[in-house]
Chain A
Amino acid sequence: MRREIVTSIVGIVVFTALLGLAYPLVITGVSQVALPGNANGQKVYVDGRLVGSKIIGQSFAGHPSYFQSRPSATEGGAYNAAASTFSNRGPNGKATEQADAGNIKAYLALERPYDPGLSAAQIPVDAVNTSASSLDPEISPANARIQAHRVAAKRALSLNAVDSLVTKYTDARGLGFSGEPGVNVLELNLALDRMKGAKAR
């Protein structure tokens, strides 16, 4: 019995040193040397200023010259990347229906002036359903195509120019078959800002 207790305690100490210190430190060391960009969160800088992470979504609400991200349920404002959260709205919840209906209304109010004839039935689900992490960096290509009308109008660009930008920043399915294609909203908006002669209003 005593022998087992001693072995257990020594075991916990030794394994903690190996698996809790050595292992993460080795992985961190190798990652920081070989893949520092990824290991540090794919930071995006504009003129030396950190504007976000390429793979963490951010909010563009209230700025109609930008493509808009998906709904987010984080506390302390949308896209709080220090407190990821699910919306936890159930499939049969009145609250879910109301949230969806509210998002549909807001989406139509924003997009219909630039895309006449747009109806609730045509809205891609990702545009009005909260993502899992509430930090989804992507929107569906269908969602982006609708928003392109507004962005083109707001920036005095041709729809074609914006559409080709959307195509450029659409990530294909993983390995060509897995998951869904998605448009990285931050990258797309950065590309818009970089476009010659395109002024955000």
Chain B
Amino acid sequence: MTFFGWLTIFVFVVILSALALPLGGYMAKVYSGERVLLTPLFAGPERLLYKVLRVDPDRGQDWKSYAKSLLIFSLAGWLALYVILRTQDAFFVPHAVNPLGYHSAPWNVTFNTVSSFVTNTNWQFYSGETTMSYLSQMVGLTVQNWLSAGVGIVVAVALIRGIVGRSPKSLGNFWKDLVRTILYVLAPISVIGALVLVSQGVIENFSAYLTAHTLTGATQSIAMGPVASQEAIKELGTNGGGFFNVNSAHPFENPTAFTNLFEMLLVLLIPAALVFTYGRMTGNRRQGYAIYATMMVMFLGAVVVAYVAEAHGSPAQHAAGLHTHAIAGSGGGNMEGKEQRFGIAGSALFDVVTTVTSCGAVNSALESFTGIGGAVPFANMSASETIFGGVGTGLYSILLYVLLAVFIGGLMVGRTPEWLGKKLEAKEIKLAGLAILITPLAALLATALATATRAGRASISELAKGPQGFSESFYAYLSQANNNGSAFAGYTGFVQPNAGTVGAHGVTFADVLGGLVMLFARFGPIVLALAVAGALVGKRVTPAGLGTMRTDNPTFVVLLIGVIVLVGALTFFPALLLGPIVQGLTGHLY
């Protein structure tokens, strides 16, 4: 550990908070329909879009109607992406957009990939530079990077409206929320973000791969592509699907320590800002601050553990005779699977940022993290996206936990629980409870299936012996159930001997199971969160009395953290013990 490592973490948190606060206020205005800075620029295109889409933006929807629009739109996106990816090498696709002549990936891998991008997971069994044409990357994957992010955000907004709204139709309009999210929130930040990334060395071109003649006389083929445009929305929308196989570890995706900080900021910006948006829209900013404090405490805990563990080094390094402490000119630590320019702190921090959110972009090899360092992303995901979480998903997930915490608090003091003036009753608690249980259910069932069957174990990499094999499998389904998308990347669902998918085949079991897990654990909670919004929206608001439990003070923050940790620990602890915790406790090599 170094002074500069801790400084990086500190500066990051300060900048994040300083940016998220005003953005949260801005977004509250966007969703309340108020005039904002960009209104003069986008009001015209916005009206035009409503016209083209033939929607009446002022028509309020109840929760069922809102959910229906969302589901049909997502299904249309799913089908379109499937067709695009499967016709990558069709006769009508011009050579310029598939300069390497890559064939389409088989149906099973495509099923997984499409489900992955539509659910904002961006789990990748394929490797970008050896599988996808530029056209697939752009009109296929990049588009869902935007749309799945938009879909996540509007659910959170609808849930907020449900909490504060007075009539069934005041949840808002799905199409209006989606259009405004894309125009007023995602577009400006993405465009600026992409250009900042290019200014630092992220590439953006349509060249065929370069052939270089290196200093030693060898030839080196170098992958190219329109990376920066996808990179910006990949981070901003907490998507996380890398243009290249190694994602944000690739120098063309993340060339400097500055872009590393910048990309982490893009990842956390909207999830953090939405918390303040919530405070504003409920008319009590302290509600937002309380949730922000809850998230930040858990986030910092994760960062500290990951940094300390990775700086300490791994049993394998020590057994080989390496000294892993920092020396002059070297930061030391577990540098297996880490880039020199990021170092240990920049890698550990990125890893936590990407697994507390549902981003899943990585700048280092998670599979090579130490046992305890690797247990951190597990733990982050065991919290089911409540530590900032994905764009929108994070806020609606923690709000469901808030509901649960208020209920438990109510039981403890023996009063009917109230939340922001609305009485909580059996229906909401049941819906929220169900929504909270879907992710663990999907993750654990799929892991059990995948480790208990031969078809499932076929995906475990040859290098992953002993507990590492279990960790790999568990991580795969925990990540997909959380719509995270980061991986212990040895886990295989696509066997590809050559670039361009000639002679390649998918692993049907892992591809299909993973795809189903992603779809179930994405749309299940979304529908239930909207149902909670629908259940809350019409309730009468009564002014807070003396006995009302406050949800905006430190006591509640402690209670909320307790509930999240307890639910996460009760559901996931046994499985965690078998994998990363065993690895962290033993010096034994397998």
Q: Given the interface contacts A39-B205, A81-B221, A91-B315, does A179 sit within 8 Å of B199 by beta carbon? A: no
- Can you pick out 8 interface pairs between chain A and chain B where the beta carbons lie within 8 Å of each other? A38-B202, A83-B127, A86-B367, A86-B489, A124-B327, A132-B363, A132-B364, A136-B251
Contact of A94 among B331, B471, B590 (CB under 8 A): B590
Residues of A within 8 A of B590 (CB): 90, 92-94
Contact of B53 among A11, A125, A144, A181 (CB under 8 A): A11
- Flag if A19 contacts B321 (CB, 8 Å): no
Write the nearest CB–CB distance from A85 to chain B, whole angstroms: 6
Check: A41 CB closer than 8 A to any chain B CB.
yes
Distance in angstroms between the alpha carbons of A141 and B252 in the assembled complex: 22
- Flag if B229 contacts A100 (CB, 8 Å): no
Kindly report which residue of chain B lies nearest to residue A134, judged by CB atoms.
B246
Write the nearest CB–CB distance from B583 to chain A, whole angstroms: 5
Contact of B314 among A66, A92, A171 (CB under 8 A): A92
- Flag if A88 contacts B246 (CB, 8 Å): no
Distance in angstroms between the alpha carbons of A174 and B262 in the assembled complex: 11
- Flag if A95 contacts B463 (CB, 8 Å): yes
Residues of B within 8 A of A130 (CB): 336-337
Write the nearest CB–CB distance from A110 to chain B, whole angstroms: 15
Distance in angstroms between the alpha carbons of A167 and B61 in the assembled complex: 64
- Flag if B11 contacts A177 (CB, 8 Å): yes
Check: B89 CB closer than 8 A to any chain A CB.
no
Kindly report which residue of chain B lies nearest to residue A32, judged by CB atoms.
B205
Residues of B within 8 A of A (CB): 4, 7-8, 11, 49, 52-55, 68-69, 72-73, 75-77, 80, 127, 129-130, 138-140, 142-143, 146-147, 175, 178, 182, 187, 190-191, 194-195, 198-207, 209-216, 218, 220-224, 226, 228-230, 244-246, 249-252, 255-258, 260-261, 313-317, 319-324, 327-343, 345-347, 362-365, 367-371, 373-374, 461, 463-468, 471, 488-490, 499, 583, 586, 588-590
Residues of A within 8 A of B7 (CB): 177
- Flag if B367 contacts A132 (CB, 8 Å): no
Interface size in chain A (residues, C-beta < 8 A): 113
Q: Given the interface contacts A80-B221, A84-B244, does A38 sit within 8 Å of B203 by beta carbon? A: yes
Distance in angstroms between the alpha carbons of A86 and B247 in the assembled complex: 10
- Flag if B368 contacts A86 (CB, 8 Å): yes
Residues of A within 8 A of B371 (CB): 91-92
Kindly report which residue of chain A lies nearest to residue B262, judged by CB atoms.
A174
- Flag if B215 contacts A80 (CB, 8 Å): no
- Flag if A15 contacts B147 (CB, 8 Å): yes
Write the nearest CB–CB distance from A121 to chain B, whole angstroms: 5
Residues of B within 8 A of A77 (CB): 218
Which residues 1-26 of A have a CB within 8 angstroms of B?
Answer: 1, 3-12, 14-16, 19-21, 23-24, 26
Residues of A within 8 A of B346 (CB): 178-180
Kindly report which residue of chain B lies nearest to residue A46, judged by CB atoms.
B215
- Flag if A89 contacts B195 (CB, 8 Å): no
Residues of A within 8 A of B489 (CB): 86, 88
Check: A126 CB closer than 8 A to any chain B CB.
yes
Distance in angstroms between the alpha carbons of A92 and B249 in the assembled complex: 22
Kindly report which residue of chain A lies nearest to residue B211, judged by CB atoms.
A50
Write the nearest CB–CB distance from A91 to chain B, whole angstroms: 4
Q: Lowest 9 CB-CB distances: which A-B pairs, in order?
A: A174-B257, A179-B257, A142-B329, A180-B343, A20-B139, A132-B249, A100-B320, A91-B314, A124-B330
Write the nearest CB–CB distance from B363 to chain A, whole angstroms: 7
Residues of B within 8 A of A186 (CB): 215
Most B CB within 10 A of own CB, among A58, A59, A84? A84
Most B CB within 10 A of own CB, among A4, A66, A180, A193? A180
Residues of A within 8 A of B218 (CB): 58-59, 77
Contact of B256 among A4, A26, A174 (CB under 8 A): A174
Distance in angstroms between the alpha carbons of A105 and B130 in the assembled complex: 33
Residues of A within 8 A of B191 (CB): 23, 26-27
- Flag if A91 contacts B368 (CB, 8 Å): yes
Write the nearest CB–CB distance from A138 to chain B, whole angstroms: 4
Distance in angstroms between the alpha carbons of A16 and B466 in the assembled complex: 45
- Flag if A122 contacts B323 (CB, 8 Å): yes
- Flag if B313 contacts A125 (CB, 8 Å): yes
- Flag if A91 contacts B583 (CB, 8 Å): yes
- Flag if A8 contacts B321 (CB, 8 Å): no
Residues of A within 8 A of B175 (CB): 7, 11
Kindly report which residue of chain A lies nearest to residue B130, judged by CB atoms.
A83
- Flag if B205 contacts A56 (CB, 8 Å): no
- B interface footprint on A19-47 (CB within 8 Å = 1, 0 otherwise): 11101101110111011001111110010
- Flag if B222 contacts A96 (CB, 8 Å): no
Kindly report which residue of chain A lies nearest to residue B7, judged by CB atoms.
A177
Distance in angstroms between the alpha carbons of A84 and B80 in the assembled complex: 29
Most B CB within 10 A of own CB, among A42, A63, A88, A92? A92
Which residues 97-123 of A have a CB within 8 angstroms of B?
Answer: 97-98, 100-101, 104, 120-123
Residues of B within 8 A of A182 (CB): 340-341
Write the nearest CB–CB distance from B354 to chain A, whole angstroms: 13
Residues of A within 8 A of B53 (CB): 7, 10-11, 14
Write the nearest CB–CB distance from B1 to chain A, whole angstroms: 13
Distance in angstroms between the alpha carbons of A142 and B331 in the assembled complex: 9
Distance in angstroms between the alpha carbons of A104 and B338 in the assembled complex: 18
Residues of A within 8 A of B138 (CB): 20-21, 24
Check: A135 CB closer than 8 A to any chain B CB.
yes
Residues of B within 8 A of A93 (CB): 316, 463-465, 468, 589-590
Distance in angstroms between the alpha carbons of A193 and B245 in the assembled complex: 33
Residues of A within 8 A of B203 (CB): 38-41
Residues of B within 8 A of A91 (CB): 314-316, 334, 336, 368-371, 373-374, 583
Residues of A within 8 A of B182 (CB): 15, 19
Q: Given the interface contacts A91-B314, A97-B316, A179-B346, does A41 sit within 8 Å of B222 by beta carbon? A: yes
- Flag if A174 contacts B195 (CB, 8 Å): no
